[in-house]
Structure 1
Amino acid sequence: MKVAQLTKYNKKNPQILISDASLPPLGPYDLLIQVKAAGVNPLDNLIARGDLKLVVPYKLPQTLGNEFVGLVQQTGKNVTNFKVGDRVYGRNPLNNIGAFAEELVVNQSAVAHVPEYLTNQEAATVPLTALTAIQALELLQAKPGQTLFISGGTGSFGAMAIPIAVAKGLKVITSGSPQNQQRVEQLGVNKFIDYTKEDYTKVLSGIDLVIDTLGGKETIKQMAILRPHGKLVSLRGMPNKEFAKRMKMSKFKQGLFSLASRSIEKEAAKKKIDYQFLFVTANGQQLAAANKILVENQIHPTVGKIFSLNEVSQAMEKVQQGHNKGKVIIDMSKN
């Protein structure tokens, strides 16, 4: 089968080759899936540049890709939840990425059935964002009635996170560009902040929870809008010791992340804020739960530019450039 493999880590120009590869053996709880489409994410670039070697040290060559939609071709002898022909999607387990491939083998626990109304291209945009939203809210220990601020919530993450948060009874506030205001308000936000006219740090205070999608200086800025003992989960900030513990990393790595996050932890302590970092993991049950919210709201994710498997490098470069209107997709049927 044809796959897109990372053969050399590089900060500026990672080496990615389209090559033939064989599949691993099918385990008793595994599914053999014919991949129909795969989402392309900033995560794929972070991996290819070697920025995440401390978190997930992949041995090269490594087939890339972290989320997929496809058809079940074969099931392991102990599989009970899926059958041949089922259309499924998922976030690849961290130790078994490889969505940029014609086929893949994955444990049944990582996938869920695809809502019928979604196209393959739409479905390929869902797993990472939906799971990130669910796992972030879980880490925040979000409770009905609390206020949640999502920075830059007009993108693909906000399209999933806002309705999921609203369904859990949260009052959602987000910021973004004015052309997207009506769309996110229809998803249920209580307040929209036009970043071209207002600074969210000047108009918000006493917020219970924050999901930080921006990182850098914005992480510190968002701490200022939280109430004392408020909670912030960052998707782009600095991994900390608590993150390393949750990921069951070695004591050595826990120490490294503790040192690396010292300044942001100090800032959080000064403001009496609970800071956490999230690296989303595979979870088919959580994805199935998200399906109910997707179906109830008939959410159609925005699909951006579509590339073929042969164009993975170009697709990743497109994501790296940013400012994409919708998620970049690898469509296996595209020549």
Structure 2
Amino acid sequence: MQAVQMSVYSPKLNVDINDISTPKIKDNQLLIKVMVAGVDPHIVLALTGKVKLFGRYDFPKTLGNELSGIVVEVGSQVNKFNAGDYVYTMPPLDDMGAFAEYIAVDADYVAQMPENLSFAQAAAVPLSGLTIMQILQMVKPKAGERLFISGGTGGFGQVAVPYAISKGLQVTVSGSKPSREIAEKLNAGFIDYMSTDYDQHEHIYDYVIDTRGVETVRKHLKLLKPGGRMISLNGGPNKRFAQRNQNFSYSRKILFSLIGFVLDNLAQLSKVQYDFLYVEANGEQLKQVTKFIEQTHFEPIIDSEYSFLQVNEAIKKITTQQSQGKVLLNLENTY
């Protein structure tokens, strides 16, 4: 079968399409024929080596973190899925593989596709859906509180915003001027980050989800009320993140605490709290996302869809941070 693979960490972001063996499943796994895969910013972090803090890949490594597809083989210990099922999934981030014709995934990470979504729409959901669900479970917000999502009209926001609104939160997003229309469709407030004076929005949000990273953390911390919380997806781990994960070694906890020292201190000076999330695969939570989608008839916004051979263009699109919705890689026509 064909697969998109990286063979080295590099800032060039170029990948190769290689012929590799179709994976053989374990007793607790499913073999899934991939129809559509989501292209997300974690791909860039993987290619450039920024994820080495969490574990190194064995090369060559097949890329791709989320997908929709059709079950073609079921492990002997799996009883909740059958061949022919339409499913979607986010495998663990350290065990990617969605950019391939077939993928073997532990059944515990898989859920039935929402009945109202196409393969393309379903592939836009898993990583973003699990991320916002895990953030809200961590901070436990109250209805009526205010949430700001930086760059919230892209692939993450187009799932995160409606899910957060369904929990009673007032959501505002930032983006370039053309993103305003997307924000309105999502029923979110909007800040044009190119022209709006952020000082006008200081100290009014209970929570900030940072998707941009270290260069914007200081700016976004100012948006929080005293006692507010920032959860970063890209700013880097910190002491609180390390303490929350019992599987980390003592030395890794010390490392993450040192890495996050500056950000933690910046937050403390602003009388707010900084935290970091590295989303985890979870099939049961994905089922809850499915329930939300089917009950609300939610349909994710798609920015663009690339063919398998256009994978480098798809990754380049992600680096612009100008996506109006989700970027997808269509594998349906590669067989």
Is TM-score (shorter-chain normalized) higher than 0.5? yes
Q: Secondary structure at the match of 2:7?
A: strand
Aligned mates of 1:329, 1:78 — CA distance in 2: 32
Aligned mates of 2:149, 2:317 — CA distance in 1: 24
The yes-or-no answer on 1:215 pairing with 2:218 is: no
Q: After superposition, what is the alpha-carbon deviation per residue over 1:3-32, rounded to whole angstroms, capped at 9, x for unaligned?
A: 112112212255x33222224442222111
Moved more, 317-326 or 78-87: 317-326
The yes-or-no answer on 1:161 pairing with 2:164 is: no
- Checking the alignment, whether the CA contact within 8 Å between 2:78 and 2:107 is kept in structure 1 is yes
Residues 19, 12 of structure 1: CA spacing in aligned structure 2 closer, same or farther, 3 A cutoff? closer
In the alignment, which residue of structure 1 is the partner of 2:53? 54
Q: After superposition, what is the alpha-carbon deviation per residue over 1:260-306, rounded to whole angstroms, capped at 9, x for unaligned?
A: 22111111111221211111111112122122222333332222333
In the alignment, which residue of structure 1 is the partner of 2:223? 225
Q: Secondary structure at the match of 2:156?
A: helix
In the alignment, which residue of structure 1 is the partner of 2:11? 11
- Checking the alignment, whether the CA contact within 8 Å between 1:41 and 1:319 is kept in structure 2 is yes
Letter in 1 for 2:45: L
Letter in 2 for 1:118: L
Residues 305, 174 of structure 1: CA spacing in aligned structure 2 closer, same or farther, 3 A cutoff? closer
**Following superposition of structure 1 onto structure 2, how do residues 128-139 of structure 1 map, counting pairs within 5 Å?**
128-139=127-138
- Checking the alignment, whether the CA contact within 8 Å between 1:56 and 1:94 is kept in structure 2 is no
The yes-or-no answer on 1:298 pairing with 2:297 is: yes
Aligned mates of 1:292, 1:22 — CA distance in 2: 35
Residues 332, 186 of structure 1: CA spacing in aligned structure 2 closer, same or farther, 3 A cutoff? closer
In the alignment, which residue of structure 2 is the partner of 1:123? 122
- Checking the alignment, whether the CA contact within 8 Å between 2:155 and 2:327 is kept in structure 1 is no
Aligned mates of 1:141, 1:13 — CA distance in 2: 37
What 5-or-longer segments of structure 2 have no aligned partner?
none
The yes-or-no answer on 1:256 pairing with 2:251 is: no
Aligned mates of 2:333, 2:303 — CA distance in 1: 15
Residues 272, 134 of structure 1: CA spacing in aligned structure 2 closer, same or farther, 3 A cutoff? same
Aligned mates of 2:94, 2:115 — CA distance in 1: 29
- Checking the alignment, whether the CA contact within 8 Å between 1:24 and 1:105 is kept in structure 2 is yes
- Checking the alignment, whether the CA contact within 8 Å between 1:233 and 1:275 is kept in structure 2 is yes
Residues 277, 299 of structure 1: CA spacing in aligned structure 2 closer, same or farther, 3 A cutoff? same
- Checking the alignment, whether the CA contact within 8 Å between 2:34 and 2:332 is kept in structure 1 is no
Q: Secondary structure at the match of 1:47?
A: helix
The yes-or-no answer on 1:275 pairing with 2:274 is: yes
Q: After superposition, what is the alpha-carbon deviation per residue over 1:292-321, rounded to whole angstroms, capped at 9, x for unaligned?
A: 222333332222333333332332223223
The yes-or-no answer on 1:193 pairing with 2:191 is: yes
Letter in 1 for 2:190: F
Aligned mates of 2:102, 2:48 — CA distance in 1: 24
Aligned mates of 1:17, 1:221 — CA distance in 2: 37
Q: Secondary structure at the match of 2:206?
A: strand
Letter in 1 for 2:93: L
- Checking the alignment, whether the CA contact within 8 Å between 1:154 and 1:177 is kept in structure 2 is no
Aligned mates of 1:172, 1:316 — CA distance in 2: 28
How many percent of aligned residue pairs carry the same amino acid? 40
- Checking the alignment, whether the CA contact within 8 Å between 2:13 and 2:44 is kept in structure 1 is no
In the alignment, which residue of structure 2 is the partner of 1:85? 84
Residues 25, 209 of structure 1: CA spacing in aligned structure 2 closer, same or farther, 3 A cutoff? same
Aligned mates of 1:151, 1:169 — CA distance in 2: 19
Aligned mates of 2:292, 2:180 — CA distance in 1: 21
Aligned mates of 2:279, 2:73 — CA distance in 1: 27
Letter in 2 for 1:244: A
Number of residue pairs matched?
A: 333
- Checking the alignment, whether the CA contact within 8 Å between 2:125 and 2:300 is kept in structure 1 is yes
Moved more, 305-314 or 234-243: 305-314
Aligned mates of 2:199, 2:108 — CA distance in 1: 41
How far is 1:81 from its partner? 2.0
Q: Secondary structure at the match of 1:133?
A: helix
What 5-or-longer segments of structure 1 have no aligned partner?
none
Letter in 1 for 2:318: V
Letter in 1 for 2:261: R
Q: TM-score, normalised by structure 1?
A: 0.91
Moved more, 318-327 or 50-59: 318-327
Aligned mates of 1:324, 1:188 — CA distance in 2: 18
